[in-house]
Amino acid sequence: MPRPPVIALSVTIVAALALGGLAVLPAAAAEPNLALNRPVAVSSSESSSYGGAKAVDGSTSSRWASVEGHDPEWLRVDLGATYPVTRVLLRWEAAYAKSYRVEVSDDTTTWRPLFSTTTGNGASDDLTGLSGSGRYVRVYGTQRGTAYGYSLFEIEVYGGATPTPSASASPTASPTASPSPTVSPTTPPAGQAVPFGSHVYPYAAGTLRPTGSQSAQDQAVVAFYQKWKTNFLRQNCGNGWYEVISPDADHPYVAEAQGYGMVIVATMAGADPDAKKIFDGMVKFMLAHPSVNNKDLLAAEQDTACKSVNGGDSATDGDMDVAYGLLLAAQQWGNAGTYDYQQLAVKHVNAIKAGEINPSTHLLTLGDWDTSGDPMYYVTRPSDHMIDHFRAFRKATGDAAWDTIRQAHQTLTTNLENQYSPNTGLLPDFVVNTNSSPKPAAGKVLEDPNDGYHWWNSCRTPWRLGADAAVSGDAASRTSARKMTSWIRSKTGGDPAKIAVGYKLDGTQISSGSEPAFFAPFAVAAINDPGAQPWVDALWSKMLTTTPGVNDYYSTSIQLQTMIVVSGNYWQP
């Protein structure tokens, strides 16, 4: 079964600081890696591309993978002579071992234990304090952590540069006879699969990052996240709920904000030790405010008393992110706690399909109130078109309809760009006539006289399309992102401060000023253009010097999520 490739952890988490700070990378071991480029034997390989030698080649872009769905499996390294072994570092791919042991041998027949566990959780296991010696080191997996096989980017073995004359100093077979090995904090915190800053999932080849150290970029995201939390994360409503407040929206609590919050908090787990508690409080709020039309969707708006108002029906953009956030949580923490996130996510995804997809056009409607006969039934909003979310929904449900839905949205995007913005790639806030000849709105359709322009909704489209291009490498999304990047970079002369507040689709400026909601999303589009490194750096610097306002929920939430993507911390469940 194919699965998305991942890379080994590039940072080591040594503490979850009280304010959610990321940890620092410890110094590299001074002694040589005894396993590097040594002969390897394995119980099986998924294919010739994933042979055992890939686990000792010193590269975190290659890996050994066993056949899928089978226990036990093992990998054995021949050190060439008998060496003391005091440390073994295992860099797991997503297909990790839940139960495994590390052993040494002189002849590949008699094995002596160095370490064993039944609670492995992937990432990197740095096994220190080991006491033993042998010519051969074996990792023996007895229970897989996933439905796949076992996969290691690297096994590293340390103990000294000088071989021992014999194995006489090796430990007794009883694991209690030697000092208890310790696992360094490179293993993620318990119950957490993708801690922030681990960069487990790689972006498509050629995707850029800002110039500078990865750790500094991660710390910048965490610092901005703390400001976002301080300004907008609340427990105003009691009942154990957490909610994101939106002082610059029509109502104090809106579905869009709750969706943003759920995606953000699930992604920041590992930097924020309270992430799961907060997320569960958000789930509790969501479940307490169902749409009047479908209990598995979220009511769009709540008042200061935290009661749903204005009809109590749904808003599609909020539901899209709520479902995605639940899928992130299911992978991040599993489903054995207070909530079965996966089950809730699938219910939400199915409700989106039933109540927020036009069955004839396969395009998103504006909410579950937007039904056949409504004047808005053949209107769609491009900023709701989260292509990577459609991919995740397909994976979570196995429903091929999500492929059809994704393709319909991508076709619409391409046609709009070709017909209405061939030079800019900009998309309008709203598209009308989706059942016949889709086109940008002419004047006010729902919100504003600028509904047909790149305005306060579609300012998000460079981020949404760019995020899909980065995680999937999709050609259509990448083409869209690059077209936008080429135009805005030329329009501003490479100066992010000149990105205006809104544009007509031909590139004519609508309003002056500088808003994160408009300049930050272009950074996500830019990382998909290999020739745009100076532009990526300029946009990143602009974001670093932007201080979020206490009333700017919308711009702050958008900038935080773009920083997560640009720093390489976004991933698709």
Single out the catalytic residue among 125, 317, 468, 474. 317
Pairs from 215-218 (Cβ < 8 Å, separation ≥ 24)? 215/11, 215/22, 215/24, 215/25, 217/540, 217/566, 217/567, 217/568, 218/11, 218/22, 218/271, 218/567, 218/569
Residue that the structure tokens 């769609």 belong to:
380
The answer to whether 317 is a known catalytic residue is yes
If one counts every other C-beta atom within 10 angstroms of the C-beta of residue 163, the result is 16
Token pair 């709540």 is at which residue? 302
Nearest Cα to Cα of residue 184 among 87, 77, 105, 307:
87
Beta strands in 219-324, from DSSP E residues, in sequence order? 233-234, 243-244, 253-254, 301-302
Taking alpha carbons only, the member of 199, 212, 335 closest to residue 280 is 335
384: DSSP letter: G
Q: Pairing mode, if any, of strands 509-511 and 501-503?
A: antiparallel
Q: Which residues, including other chains, have CB under 8 Å from residue 289's CB and lie 6 or more apart?
A: 298, 299, 302, 308
549: tokens are 């306002």
Number of Cβ within 10 Å of residue 37's Cβ equals 10
Task: Calculate Rg over the CA atoms of the chain.
Answer: 26
Show Cβ contacts of residue 14 under 8 Å, excluding neighbours closer than 6 positions: 23, 24, 26, 184, 185
CA distance 431 to 162: 71
DSSP calls for 480-493: HHHHHHHHHHHHHT
Q: Are 226 and 19 in contact (CB under 8 A)?
A: yes
Catalytic member of 256, 301, 356, 388:
256
Cα(212)–Cα(532) distance, integer angstroms: 15
User: For residues 452 and 429, is the Cβ–Cβ distance under 8 A?
Assistant: yes
Residue 337 CA: distances (Å) to CA of 98, 191, 321, 342, 383: 19, 10, 21, 11, 33
For residues 411 and 405, give the distance between their C-alpha atoms in angstroms, rounded to a whole number.
10
Say if residue 246 is exposed, middle or buried (CB neighbours under 10 Å; 0-12, 13-18, 19+): buried
Instruction: Determine the Cα–Cα distance for residues 348 and 548; give it in Å rounded to an integer.
Output: 32
Give catalytic residues, as residue numbers.
256, 317
